[in-house]
Structure 1
């Protein structure tokens, strides 16, 4: 065994792909900064190339871990000549110790037989680079420089290489820390996160301190009420700030008002994750950029690392699978009606009229609609008081953008459909919701996407808390509509579900208590459950099988009740994804600690672009 650990690891190397990466990284800092790694099959005798350097030279690179390095050198040179690359310099790296006379012979052979200059990196020359100016590469290639020769902590080599963003946190902040680590990995940064690192058998506190000293180029502590109560966490923050204040980028989570930050941290501006994780991430990325820290991993490599941490290695199967979205096709009339009213309607008259008819108030004496008002309305007989026009050919009408008027009328048409089906309008939340049928909860019969007949509850009762703190309440589901036109001219309705929560007597909850109750209702709902309830809400509005129609004849607005569907050429392996829901549950628990925020409108339903897979 070699006395030198670097030499021993290089001598025992058998992973050629890892050796390629090591050599390319080493040579990039050894005079070949514009090296372009090739590797893989079909490389025509080259593992890397510089097509034209600053001196106008073409340079080819070849690496080997074979003991018969002479044969490999000649073979690679012949291959390069056969394909007519014509390099000026041929760089050859190997893991063999080569005597001086053999080096001279190799240089002479390449010059005489091929006409190129040979730059030879043998075992000893590689060792000199790795023990000196490029020692940081030892930590970046742990599959070559392995324990026990190069000890590791938390899965990372502790050879000096300040190239890693260190994310430190306590157990209750695992969700945000893991999310931040994966997002930074996706951006190409090399990260280490305490919550996802292999720490079995190690002192976690000592591991983090060691990595701060040897690997961290930035230290990101997640600050929360829980972490600020942990004395070991605060000691690690103090160690990092004492080493170099620029090393620390505090990440502020949820902190109670009665907590104060340590004096060293109060002087640093924190990336604020308390209201938005995305805003916090952007603040961290800006801080890294302003400090001159650039991604060290290729985008594809960073994505592979992030996905490997997040999901099993193989989650797809070669089987087509249908996918559905909460988007529904609409048919829109080609014309609008410009209706003149005999007098300015009062607010009460407008409200009563809007419950049965969709219209847009262009001005006090003009209403715009797709269809005529219902008979018996306060407008009376409008014959002779309206004109019809092709709204798609008119950019403006009465000073209003016609496209915006159309969107408003479509959404209001769906509101009229809700009124016709007996949904109740909640003036407090400005939206419609289903209600119980007498004393019974509302169970809506549906036809699922696979044609199966079943039922789904649109109202119900839940209990928040346990024992003496148990509190019963009710929930009701309702639709929220947004109508729009895609690039192909197709009109669609995006429907999101609203979860309305009340006391058993029907009184509304206020403030943060709203979201607390909603989470009790929806915590066990995933795509399968949301899809069924979405179908229940939409089919509960049907006027005819498979569609909702508002209006008459060619002036009617129609929405299909079958969600838009696509056929994906590959499917998801459900068994492989079984554990993936854990991260979702962690994030849900973390958000529960955010004290839930005030009511913000839609609750729980995936965004309009979210794809819902079949159950």
Structure 2
């Protein structure tokens, strides 16, 4: 007979007829009828913690309530930025519970693919002897490791002399961990109307594009609606989250205060976790936030909308707020609320991106040995007239480095290796010094960036260093005939666009500038970002960053997407006007597409009142500020200051 079958794990659950109570230390206390939940007396207790969905309160409560002897962390990337929790606070909680923290990330590093639960279980057994341990054990896992099937396989691999099965207690507990029970799937945005409408529309669009159902009065209320009945029904019965936009405007908005009061009462009555999410939009002092929200963790949007949005998305994902279908159409509907005349139609529309596709990468990476002292290799690499990089004692390029090196260095270079570009990127360079795939990717990106910058300098453009240290390239005055480019638009009509112009009012030149960021992937490309640079002499950028910033905001406040698009299309057309087309460097063989990538959207926006060619109509001129005329698109002396010139 073989050995007796190992007892299966007991997955402990608390069965309630009503809503599940929140997790407390008493959840781990020993009931009179079941002593297996008493951690200090039962070495068979395993607490599994899903760190992607647990709250900071639940994690600390689990540690203090179960008092584990050991805490195993089997996640690929151990992180403790859960709610307000920090790594230091987490380890203080481990110490307070008397737990020994054991990090098993080395198991993931040693395996090319994700290690199986059996491998992780064996590693846990090797870390210590379970037969001699006292107290419970906690295991920190990712959501993909939280299923009963995975946990069972993991525990089956643990060696123990105990004949009793493992008692498994999972945190968060289903179904209480889900803050959106039943049909609660709506995200309600409470804000001051109309003062904070622009932000509310933007936030609604972003959340809808992420797949969430959003209720915002800008989009969901029409004239004549009994709005408070709709709002109350939504918050009481349909909302998974209520996002409160805190601002100086909303502090005195009676509608917002009523919505906050109702949401807080629903949160407490239904015991919903993180039901109300306050976010700070402006420089409203935290001391001025009303008491019922001041005790909550407030997400700050004041300095950066993108980071604030990420924080909200993380909370929604952690709390498993349901997704819906039709996100793109709903997002377009939110955007159309800026103009009630705009409607979403099912008419296809061509969209011009800011991607300039790389049609051909250099086929090889050439390594050159340098007959010079080691400390001189960096100097020689920097002096190369072609994109290059240093690797050990070698200099790598995309082409013949001997021809591109200064004459005093060319005799020092000897080609040693020639590696296929695809092998180089995958880190499988046969016979040549190996480079990790991530490092190889970064090297090629750097080389492509160097190639672009060298080409722009060769074309006579000037550079301006952005805050990210990337270079934005602009045309100095008189580089072009009348500072104007000519191109064909999507309808094959000949167009002209001014790229440089003088503002008599501000006594400065403005220059359209382009920053190129290379990217590799399914579609290698340069992502072109548009900027505006200001000079006094038509050549040198302003020294004062503050004045540059003020000018940019004032001059460009009425530049809509079509203007930026046409300027970028004209810039790319000018690059293609060279006899060599869009090829970077004579010997690099970096070939670019001749126009920006276009996409077809199955939907479009229809205002029903646009002009035939989509330009600003004469009736719109009265709404433009005086500064807008400083950036006119004049192409001849008789053209009006705001008119784009077209020729059939």
Pairwise TM-score range, normalised by the shorter structure: 0.5 to 0.7
- Distance apart, 1:417 and its partner CA: 0.8
Name the structure 2 match of 1:329: 358
Change (3 A) 1:420 1:267: same
Give structure 2 stretches of 5+ with no counterpart.
Answer: 1-182, 337-341, 615-648
Name the structure 2 match of 1:499: 532
Q: Which moves more between the two structures, 207-216 or 309-318?
A: 207-216
* Match status 1:315 vs 2:353: no
- Separation in structure 1 between the aligned mates of residue 559 and residue 330 of structure 2, nearest angstrom: 29
Name the structure 2 match of 1:483: 518
- The counterpart of 1:548, out of the listed 582, 597, 604, is 582
Change (3 A) 1:388 1:326: same
Change (3 A) 1:251 1:208: farther
Question: Which deviations, in whole Å up to 9, do the C-alpha atoms of 1:311-368 show, x marking residues without a partner?
Answer: 56652336x85755522333333233323344354988765x35x4222222466353
Name the structure 1 match of 2:217: 194
| Contact kept? 2:474, 2:512, Cα under 8 Å | yes
| Contact kept? 1:164, 1:215, Cα under 8 Å | no
| Contact kept? 2:364, 2:398, Cα under 8 Å | no
| Contact kept? 2:242, 2:276, Cα under 8 Å | yes
Question: Which deviations, in whole Å up to 9, do the C-alpha atoms of 1:486-511 show, x marking residues without a partner?
Answer: 44xx6433333333345678423436
Change (3 A) 1:547 1:527: farther
* Match status 1:448 vs 2:488: yes
Which structure has the larger Rg? 1
Alignment of 1:305-454 (within 5 A): 307-311=332-336, 314-317=344-347, 321=350, 323=352, 325-343=354-372, 344-345=375-376, 353=383, 356-363=385-392, 366-374=395-403, 377-382=406-411, 385-387=414-416, 389-392=418-421, 393-394=423-424, 395-396=428-429, 398-401=433-436, 402-427=440-465, 429-437=469-477, 443-450=483-490, 451-454=492-495
| Contact kept? 1:341, 1:366, Cα under 8 Å | yes
* Match status 1:262 vs 2:302: no
| Contact kept? 1:223, 1:255, Cα under 8 Å | no
Question: Which deviations, in whole Å up to 9, do the C-alpha atoms of 1:429-476 show, x marking residues without a partner?
Answer: 54142243369997242332555444323334569xxxxxx8565433
- Separation in structure 2 between the aligned mates of residue 284 and residue 403 of structure 1, nearest angstrom: 32
Q: TM-score, normalised by structure 2?
A: 0.50
- Separation in structure 2 between the aligned mates of residue 447 and residue 162 of structure 1, nearest angstrom: 52
Change (3 A) 1:256 1:364: farther
Give structure 1 stretches of 5+ with no counterpart.
Answer: 1-160, 464-469, 582-615
DSSP 3-state at the match of 2:568:
helix
Q: TM-score, normalised by structure 1?
A: 0.53
Alignment of 1:84-99 (within 5 A): none
Q: Which moves more between the two structures, 415-424 or 223-232?
A: 223-232
- Separation in structure 1 between the aligned mates of residue 259 and residue 405 of structure 2, nearest angstrom: 76
Name the structure 2 match of 1:167: 189
Change (3 A) 1:367 1:182: closer
Total equivalences in the alignment: 403
Name the structure 1 match of 2:568: 534
DSSP 3-state at the match of 1:532:
helix
DSSP 3-state at the match of 2:218:
coil
CA RMSD of aligned residues (A): 4.7
Change (3 A) 1:327 1:189: closer
